[in-house]
Chains A and B, each alone.
Chain A
Amino acid sequence: MIKVNGLHAGYDLVNVLRDVTIEIGNGEIVAVLGSNGVGKTTLNNTLSGLIKPTSGEIYFDNVLISGRDPVEIVEMGLIHVPEGRKLFPNLSVKENLELGSYRRGKLNRATNFERVLEIFPKLKDRIRQTAGTLSGGEQQMVAIGRGLMSDPRILLLDEPSLGLSPLLVEQMFTLIKQINDDGLSIILVEQNVIQSLAIADRAYVLEGGTVSLSGRADELKENSNLKKSYLGL
């Protein structure tokens, strides 16, 4: 579904990603793991078009999308739920969700809205509140909900567990799995290695801006290098 080939990208003169090659198949959850500063968010921003790559290609269903504008990429159905949520703090929860279907999924707005509230019943009581007044967990729900409003074909989740309480983290991962079970492909970018590998089909490990390790999630769980670099075991 998504093919990334020899991708280099960065900011101004600093090259963050070096020769990244990854692939995501239809209906998969693929985890991209790595600690702070290895280029996870840069990878996401390049996939969604916020950053133009310096070289390399990104294909979405065999269509070259690298270097295109985010507007076009959203239109094709690759939806990025960013780190830090990037909600519209001055707009109500309802308006935030509605704008999720600004470019794509407008016709299904009503049904998707109902569906999002089914997935996140907690948002029902908050629907008229402005997004800026919500707790971190609730904001994360709105962010994912906003992504789901656009009938995504693939969802790019950037650190969805960041800043959530341990209990909420657990729920969030269960939920991501549930959304995936409904047939949606997901790229899950996370620091939370154990939980991510528990729900992912495959995973890539980023180190210093390049893929250092990749494979099936259940195999990686047993990988001694991964344990060394992450768990200090």
Chain B
Amino acid sequence: MFSEVVSLLPAGIINGLMFGAIYALVALGLTLIYGVLHIINFAHGAMLMLAMYMAYFLFKILNIDPYVAILIVTPAGFVFGYTIYRWGIGKLSGGRDQNILLITLGLSIILENSALVFFTGDQQTISLSYSYEAFDLGFLYLSYPKVISFVASLVICLLLWMLMTLTDLGKAIRAVAKQREGARLVGIDVEHVFAVTFGIGVACLGAAGCMLLPIFYVDPYTGNIFVIVAFTIVVLGGMGSIVGALLGGFIIGITESVGGLILGESLGQVGISLIFILILIFRPTGIFGSKV
């Protein structure tokens, strides 16, 4: 038994990395919105679900491959996020954090129940012609969808990191996160930057939704499965940290995958909760988090 687990370990780790990359994307959106706007987006799961449905219908109706659909659903996510913050959440909340929480919570209820009405509660899956083709690494078969997701997630994280450190917009996003009044005094349109941040956060979900569709089912509540894991990742990596979200995504992905190998598929997530409890006890600010 023991030697069997050891021999499967490399495969488990690599599988975990692959899935962790998608987790990281979901967490990235969450951590960005939290880090800048200081609010938890309770509609995160519902928005991920919407992205998955969008990818699903693009595939079913227009026959667009979900990995190609990334190029459509990601910008659509940005526009949706920007619009809903600028003319919805931002306006209705009057700038009060507790109102924003309630509004995003209400939004998730509206989105999930609308999905139930329009898309029914049935679980939908798609199958791609290359879903079962794989790279043979000798000790492990890596399916194409997982490899593509892994690479695409890394590319998106890299692009986001470049945006945040190299461009004026990225610097402005980081600036308003800590000093809103100072930002206004250099002429930064704070409401615009908030909406852009929210848009980028939802855009990450757009990409994640496309990548999840080929390997997971979608129904009106799918999103929440991933968002609960994403919360753990955000706390693990440090609230607001991009690198933390990526690293946290990998750690959680590997924990789940290796945990599944040892304890069986259904108990794989026990490890995630265990990590969550350990972080809260020993390093509540996360790996890359700073004290507020």
Contact = CB atoms under 8 A, between A and B. Distances in A.
Interface string B217-228: 000000000000
Contact of B185 (A75, A80, A90, A91): A80
B175 interface: yes
Interface in B177-230: 177-179, 181-189
Contact of B186 (A50, A85, A89, A100): A100
B172 A71 contact: no
Given A71-B189, A150-B186, A99 B175 contact: yes
B181 A99 contact: no
A66 interface: no
Contacts of A209: none
A86 B188 CA distance: 13
Interface residues of B, number: 17
Contacts of B189: 69, 71
Given A99-B168, A99-B171, A87 B182 contact: yes
Interface string A56-78: 00000000000001110011000
Contacts of B146: none
B171 A91 contact: yes
A47 to B, nearest CB: 11
A217 to B, nearest CB: 27
B235 to A, nearest CB: 19
Contacts of B174: 88, 90-91, 95
A110 to B, nearest CB: 14
Contacts of B179: 86-89
B187 A86 contact: no
A88 B168 CA distance: 14
Interface in B100-124: none
Contact of A88 (B182, B184, B187): B182
A190 interface: no
B188 A90 contact: no
A103 B175 contact: no
A202 interface: no
Contacts of B178: 88-90
23 contacts: A48-B185, A50-B184, A70-B184, A71-B184, A71-B187, A74-B185, A79-B185, A81-B185, A82-B181, A82-B185, A86-B179, A86-B185, A88-B175, A89-B178, A89-B179, A90-B178, A91-B174, A95-B171, A102-B172, A102-B187, A102-B188, A106-B168, A150-B186
3 closest pairs, A vs B, by CB? A103-B187, A86-B182, A74-B187
Interface of B: 168, 171-172, 174-175, 177-179, 181-189
Given A74-B186, A95-B171, A104-B187, 18 more contacts: A70-B185, A70-B187, A74-B187, A81-B185, A82-B182, A86-B181, A87-B179, A88-B182, A90-B174, A90-B177, A91-B175, A98-B171, A99-B183, A102-B172, A102-B187, A102-B188, A103-B186, A103-B187
